[in-house]
Structure 1
Amino acid sequence: MDTMIKSTEFPNPTMIAVNGVELEVFEAGQENKGNPIVLCHGWPEHAFAWRHQVPALVAAGYHVIVPNQRGYGNSSCPAEVTAYDIAHLTDDLAALLDHYGYDDAIFVGHDWGANVVWCMAQLHPKRVRKIINLALPYQARTEKPWIEFLEEIFGGDHYFVHFNRQPGVADAVLDQNTKRFLSNLFRKNVPLAPPEPGNMMINLAEAENAPGDPLLNDDELAVLVDAFEQNSFTSSINWYRNMDRNWHLLADVDPIMQQPTLMIYGERDMIPKAENLSDFVPNLDVVSLDCGHWIQQEKPEETNLAILNWLETQSAS
């Protein structure tokens, strides 16, 4: 896998021991020490998802730190499901800041990584200087635990619910069809359509082809395929298996985040925008780009411009 990443001019990784695990961390712009920005990937991804952002952020004067979070790439993949709850995931990032000697940093998240960043701002508020999140707005705590709530609305086939109620079933199908699944999932220009019956992720893993256009070239796809063939999907799916545990862990946490925040949406993403986001994040700016879910990979230049313009405005104010 490393040779594949080298060929695409992504930084070489370092293994860093934090919080009882080892994280594979891709670091650039060490000459900008003192100005850290941490990029957090989503599911089923890899630090490599930020390849288009790293050079632009280094050129703008940032020390860029891009971990494969636990369960991904060459980072540790603990066997216990509870090792992937939100306390562990955010403690990993706090310990990563400790490793570099930073009190705080700007945190950027996409998809599941955005959820980790929202929770980082709640559980470790003093460690988060600014928030930039893509695709996933803050998910306010529901009256019932999240999986129970989703099951009532969407039924047992919704993949969040299925991952929890039928552990191991989807994992096995994705593991058997790793390349096909990732190729069918990472698409752009996908027409919006009502979901088909069944588990969306199993459907994608078994489909002969998928709508839209491929997002990744062969070398880029190979980075993901190699990583998930090495690990299986279970450790990353275990993040979903902690959603109800996270619901309990966050019960007494202040949901209001005071950090300056930029939310970037894809206009064609299936994830809906949050109409009440500013209720939870009062210091909020919003940008929407004409793309689907994989925002920073679909529209790299526009994403970089949105991030850098916002950061420049923030530092001027």
Structure 2
Amino acid sequence: MIDPRIHDESWLQRRHIERDGVRLHYVTAEPEPSGEGAGPIGTIVLVHGFPHFWFTWHRMIPLLVDAGWRVIAPDLRGMGGSDAPADVEAYTPREVVDDLFAVIDDVSPRGGAAEKVVLVGFDFGAGVVYDACHLEPDRVRAVIGMENPFVGTAGSVPPLEGSAMIAEKHFLHLHYFAQPGVAEVDLKGHERDFLARVFWALSADFHYLDVWQHPPGTRYLDALPEAPQLPWRWLSAEELDVYEKEYTRTGFAGPLQWYRAMDVSWRARKEFERQTNPVPYYFVYSEHDPDLEGFHGREPLKKLDRHHDDVRQVRSVPRAGHLMHLEATEDTHREILACLADITATIPE
């Protein structure tokens, strides 16, 4: 079920702003005043990944608003209702972080001392919020990473070059997506099938790294498992309808720029390669996340203090894969609220 408030324009506002010629879309929601003159506890910004857009947070937004938070959920450039620049240089950390704070300032304009916000990042969105902590630490009260614990910049081989070498041995989605004009053509007309297959493959109901058993040159649709008919235990047909409608409208060319810009972003992050994140850090992960298993080196949870100065809490969600906020919604919400309770109690606004 989709909370009916998600479709209520009087409760959930949909807005656009333009920054340096790029039109950005976001949604925002305010809590009901809890007393005379009382405002929100604070502002929390939810940053999605791929293949998502703001709607991936549709279950969490009402929860956070009911808990007293002002919520902002942007569509990252390239995805959803935001513009999709064709140049990969437009997806550098500086550009995307500036987008983020342009949206925040549109909701709560800076005047005197700017409000510090809580950032929550999932998938590519985790990289965005970690970049924000490096580039604009004075504007971030705390950061909550979901699934992806840090962004690696070590080594001398850019990520897409490394992916190409791995893809000579077996299928790798990073390399497949990085080739201009390939995936967007393959997936056109197959949006629903792809979304269902990739969501199922990333879940705890399948072992995602099994797609690596396919040989080089395999199409992603052929490497992914066939998904069972909806509804699933954790996803409804109505929810997938929303994803299908949006990706049928936009296509995949814009979202795939995030993969094609990985080398550009890797080089840009060299600026703070030897710096740790100074912002109070919380991490929520699922027990069966394929990113933790296959994309962050050995035992990534033991490396958190190499990347973050102030690790406050590390919390796990059982029985879920990469899409834990959909697969194990109640458990994920409980862990996020626990982080927020600690932030409210221990970190000044």
What TM-score comes out, normalization by structure 1 length?
Answer: 0.89
Which residue number in structure 2 is paired with residue 41 of structure 1? 48
> Displacement, 1:299?
1.5
1:261 match:
281
Shift of 1:68: 1.1
Q: Deviations over 1:216-248 (max 9, x none)?
A: 212111111111111110100101111111111
Structure 1 residues 94 and 257: CA distance shift in structure 2, 3 A: same
5+ residue gaps in structure 1?
A: none
Count how many residue pairs are aligned between Structure 1 and Structure 2.
314
Of the three residues 324, 335, 341, the one matched with 1:312 is 341
Gaps of 5+ in 2: 34-38, 293-298
CA–CA distance in structure 2, aligned partners of residues 178 and 259 of structure 1: 38
1:70-99 deviation line (CA, Å, top 9, x unaligned)? 111221122323222222211100212222
Deviation string, structure 1 residues 184-239 (Cα, Å, up to 9, x no partner):
11224423263231579943368682379844212111111111111110100101
2:79 pairs with one of 61, 72, 87: 72
User: Residue 191 of structure 1 corresponds to which residue in structure 2?
Assistant: 206
Q: Which residue of 2 aligns with 1:113?
A: 125
Counterpart in 1 of 2:248?
Answer: 229
What's the offset of the Cα at 1:4? 12
Q: Aligned AA for 1:184?
A: R
Q: Name the aligned partner's letter for residue 109 of structure 2.
A: G
The range that moved more, 51-60 or 211-220, is: 211-220
1:81 aligns with 2:88: yes
CA gap 1:263/1:207 in 2 versus in 1, 3 angstroms: closer
Instruction: Say which of 213, 220, 225 aligns to 1:203.
Output: 220
Moved more, 32-41 or 279-288: 32-41
Q: CA deviation at 1:9?
A: 11
TM-superposed deviation, 1:308: 1.3
1:126-141 correspondence runs (5 A): 126-141=138-153
- Given the alignment of the two structures, is residue 278 of structure 1 paired with residue 293 of structure 2, yes or no? no
- Per-residue CA deviation, residues 244-298 of structure 1 (Å, 9 max, x unaligned), is 1111111121530121111111111111261301221132221111100001111
Aligned-residue RMSD, C-alpha: 2.8
Q: Look at both structures and tell me which one has the larger radius of gyration over its CA atoms.
A: 2
Q: 1:60 corresponds to which letter in structure 2?
A: A
Distance 2:224 2:344 in 1: 47
For the structure 1 residues 265 and 163, does the alpha-carbon distance in structure 2 shift closer, same or farther, using more than 3 Å as the test?
Answer: same
Would the alpha carbon gap of residues 282 and 208 (structure 1) be closer, same or farther in structure 2, given more than 3 Å must change? Answer: closer
The residue number in structure 2 matching 1:150 is 163
1:55 to 57, 62, 68: 62
Change (3 A) 1:39 1:292: same
Please report how far the alpha carbon of residue 5 of structure 1 lies from its aligned counterpart in structure 2 after TM superposition: 5.8
Find out whether 1:161 has 2:175 as its counterpart.
yes
If the length of structure 2 is used for normalisation, what is the TM-score?
Answer: 0.81
